[in-house]
Structure 1
Amino acid sequence: MRKLLTAATVAATALFASANAQAADTIALVVSTLNNPFFVTLKNGAESKAKALGYNLLVLDSQNDPAKELANVEDVVNKKVKLLLVNPTDSDAVRSAVRSANRAKIPVVTLDRSANGGEVASHIASDNVAGGRMAGQLVVDMLKGQGAVVELQGLPGASAARDRGKGFHEVVDKASGLKVVASQPADFDRTKALNVMENILQAQQKIDVVFAHNDEMALGAAKAIQASGRKIPVVGFDGTDEGVAAVNAGALAATVAQQAGLIGEKGVETADKVLKGEKVPAFTPVELKMVTK
């Protein structure tokens, strides 16, 4: 009898757990790309917080393709998720996706990159303009206001690229002895940055420092510089594990460190508040810090 009761209890517990899992609200996270360690960390932070708060989190990868992003959002809209967290591939292109969720009355929270259209309940991100200023000031200090600078820009149309570049130029353009000799996009991609940097190295005989809008591009640029035999310091942005390790190893001069996991966590915390009808700020900044050796 004891064994029968135990078996019945186990079966009932499993049924209860299954019902609870099905009853848990599902929120979606549509990420620009999971082929970038920064966004993998962001996803991990969101998953951890969702689990802690009792939500199911559905994650979809847009592979840096706005069309794929729209298809992903339409897919989760059809699944009737409770809320959409989206890290846009492009701040302009994401408008259609946000409006698709708006039409379905699904609240939207943007992470890291903003949306230039549609109704968004809240935006969670680092202050990218402030981070760009931090990088710019570091470059000015490193070169003592004199020298030739290369800027590797992120994905055109992404708010993070625009804002980081804006903050950077607010500082370096005021230093009369500094000249930005090349400023080219490499789409936040390591391989593209390597190729772009190779071309810039051939075209520019004098380069004193490189600023890249993210660590992936910084690492690509550093590899190209190493292969050329020249010694040029590179400053990155994001503070990925690999980026920080490269700083500690001397391969990068510095990185402006975002807290990707915290952005994901705060995104889910904000989603929870929105779903409970609580008031949330239009923008929640996440602290940045400079990492040097």
Structure 2
Amino acid sequence: MCKTVLYLIAIIAIITSCSKSEKTYKIAVSQCSEDIWRNKLNEELKMGTYVHNNVELSFASADGSDEKQIEQIHQFMKDGMDLLIVAPNQIATVSPAIDEVFDKGIPVIVFDRKTNSEKFTAFIGADNFEMGRLMGEYIATKLKGKGRVLEIMGLKGSSPAIERHNGFLNAISSYPDIVLVASLQGDWTEESAMKAIKAYHGDLSNIDFVFGQNDRMAVGASKVLSKLPASHHTKYCGIDGLPGEGNGLASVRDSILEASYIYPTHGDEVLQLAMDILEGKPYKKDNRLMASLVTKDNARVLLLQSEELTRQGHNIDFLHEQSDNYLQQLDTQRVITWMAVGIIVLLLIAIVLLYRYHLNKVTMQRERVINTLWNIPVEELPAEPAEPEQPAEVAESGVVKPEPSEPTVDSRFLARFKEVVEARMSDSEVSVEDLAADMNLSRVQLYRKVKAITDSSPVELLRTARLKRAYQLLATTDKNISEVAYDVGFTAPSYFTKCFKDEFGISPSDLS
């Protein structure tokens, strides 16, 4: 769905670039600093102008300086602006300049960070208190309510640092056996976390968990603490969950961080809010962006999704740039003809891409089903021989784990059990006793063995295998729902439909 929207944005951008609105809005963006999170938001704001082609964006970064941000806001006022989007460096110091803008009748959107004034038109951003609280609950749960934790705070006086700290304290205060060793002061950078830890003279031995108020500080803390004695068990978590190698999602995937929390940018929503205000449309003053926890279980998928969206965003940038260059070269007498040709071509491209997207989606769903058959962990499946150049896997403890050279006893057992299930799958009357007999085991032996390896019963695995075989048949053959139901051993299509929907969240008719 996301890719479909992106392609449609590209088409709309090229079509709407042919005409100029009578009113062009000048929107100024005052960033408190420059980093990958803010660069991502800026790029999303720019992409939003592909739809709102009557917008001129101006950007400024204060590089963490209150004085510089105040000067930049004053310069925006002199240059003339219709609306200000601002992320205040600190709560109190930049507020007077923002108040000046508001008092002049210029709408102000405060995003990400807050001021200590009510003189703003709207706020948009994530709930930093809630993120701090949820990370505190996550750490407390992982520690089973007992342990030593260290906090690395963001820029002093900034609202995210204050709110994340308060949320974190709110969570761990319910666990009297969790000791907050210290809350060290950083400034959102990796270097600040390293410096804060080195300057601390208290006892940092046997730290169980480090909460960095962003991913970069959490990684910085790990680089220092990992060199101290008795710190090999220390775990780290942060906030931001940015895509790209070396950032939050990759750090969780690579076990550098135990967890992170996606701190959303959503520049397109920020720009849409600005346009609603400027065009007199309804809007909310307080707009909260949804966030989500990132762990090892979902980091790889989220990273792949983010990389795909980034790639499609680059494609849209290219399409928009190419279309602008093309339209500038058109002769006035040929504009209508060439625009018609261009729109038809783009629509054809969009249809082809949407069709390919649908096929890819179905293929990915099918592969996911196959790869997660019976929910058997990947490491328990027979391994392919390792490539010579690949390094050996390193566990969190630092011990090098040798590459598996041959299937384990459990994996051979599961492979045999899978063969037996697939051979008897279409038999609606097959029982656990039948499966056990085929494997030369008693019913109790089979149940205990399967349960020990997969934490599921043989009946559950049989049902799951039937449903996933049904998914494949519905997606790849012309058989109807009843035929598939009987093929995989269900005696009633209605019961099959119910089970299928419980398993996959969709009806069999969505695939047939």
Task: Tell me the SS of whatever aligns to 1:51.
Answer: coil
Instruction: Give CA deviations for 1:131-161 in whole Å, capped at 9, x if unaligned.
Output: 1111011100111100011011111211111
Is 1:244 matched with 2:249? Answer: yes
Q: Which runs of 5+ in 1 are unaligned?
A: 1-16
Residues 160-169 or 220-229, more deviating: 220-229
Q: Displacement, 1:201?
A: 8.2
Match of 2:285 among 282, 285, 290: 282
**Distance 1:126-1:240 versus aligned 2 partners, 3 A rule:** same
2:99 and 2:120 in contact (8 A); partners too: no
Instruction: Name the CA shift for 1:190/1:21 in 2 (closer, same or farther; >3 Å).
Output: farther
* Structure 2 CA distance for partners of 1:275 and 1:175, relative to 1, 3 Å: same
1:120 aligns with 2:120: yes
Structure 1 vs Structure 2 CA RMSD: 2.0
**Number of aligned residue pairs:** 274
What's the counterpart of residue 510 of structure 2?
A: none
Q: Report the CA distance shift for 1:201/1:47 in structure 2 as closer, same or farther (over 3 A).
A: farther
Deviation at residue 236 of structure 1 after TM alignment: 0.2
Q: Is the Cα contact below 8 Å between 1:73 and 1:100 reproduced in 2?
A: no
Query: Match of 2:37, as an amino acid?
Result: F
Give the distance between the partners of 2:281 and 2:293, measured in 1 at CA: 34
Alignment of 1:220-231 (within 5 A): 220-228=220-228, 230-231=231-232
Q: TM-score, with normalisation over the residues of structure 1?
A: 0.88
In the aligned structure 2, how far is the partner of 1:28 from the partner of 1:51? 17
Counting aligned pairs with the same residue, the percent is 25
Alignment of 1:115-264 (within 5 A): 115-117=115-117, 119-200=119-200, 203-228=203-228, 230-231=231-232, 232-241=234-243, 242-260=247-265, 262=266, 264=267
What is the DSSP-based 3-state SS (H/G/I as helix, E as strand, rest coil) of the residue aligned with 2:50?
Answer: helix
Q: Which amino acid in 2 is paired with 1:278?
A: K
8 A Cα contact 1:102 1:118, kept in partner: no
| RCO comparison, higher one (Cα < 8 Å, 6+) | 1
Answer 1 or 2: which has greater strand percent: 1
Counterpart residue identity of residue 273, structure 1: D
1:27 aligns with 2:27: yes
Q: Give the 3 Å change call, closer, same or farther, for CA 68–40 of structure 1 in structure 2.
A: same
Deviation per residue, 1:200-221 (Å, 9 max, x gap): 4873222110001111211211
**Structure 2 counterpart of 1:40, one-letter code:** N
| CA distance, structure 2, for counterparts of residue 248 and residue 200 of structure 1 | 30
With 276-285 and 119-128 compared, the bigger mean Cα shift is at: 276-285
The answer to whether the 8 A contact 1:134-1:256 is kept is no
- CA distance in 2: counterparts of 1:224 and 1:43, whole angstroms: 32
In structure 1, how many angstroms separate the alpha carbons of the residues matched to 2:27 and 2:71? 17
For structure 1, which segment, 195-204 or 59-68, has the greater mean C-alpha deviation from structure 2 after superposition? Answer: 195-204
Deviations 1:66-92 (A, max 9, x none): 111111111111111110000111111
- Listed one character per residue, the Cα deviations across residues 85-142 of structure 1 (whole Å, up to 9, x for unaligned) are 0011111112122122123321100110011125111100101111111101110011
Structure of greater Rg: 2
* Matched-pair contact (CA < 8 Å) for 1:95–1:118: no
Q: Equivalents in 1 of 2:216, 2:22: separation in Å? A: 39
Counterpart of 1:74? 74
SS at 2:51 equivalent:
helix
CA distance in 2: counterparts of 1:228 and 1:44, whole angstroms: 40
Question: What secondary structure does 1:203 align onto?
Answer: coil
Q: Which amino acid aligns with 2:275?
A: D
The answer to whether the 8 A contact 1:148-1:181 is kept is yes
- In structure 2, the CA distance between the partners of 1:292 and 1:219, relative to structure 1 (3 Å rule), is same
Tell me which residue corresponds to 1:47.
46
Q: Aligned AA for 1:240?
A: L
Cα distance per residue 1:243-291 (max 9 Å; x no partner): 111111111111111112x1x2221111101101223212111111110
CA contact (8 A) 2:262 2:293 kept: yes
Structure 2: 5+ residue stretches without partners: 1-16, 297-512
Q: How does 1:266-277 map to 2 (within 5 A)?
A: 266-277=269-280
Taking the aligned partners of 1:117 and 1:227, their CA distance within structure 2 comes to 44
Structure 1 residues 252 and 201, CA gap change in structure 2 (3 angstroms): farther
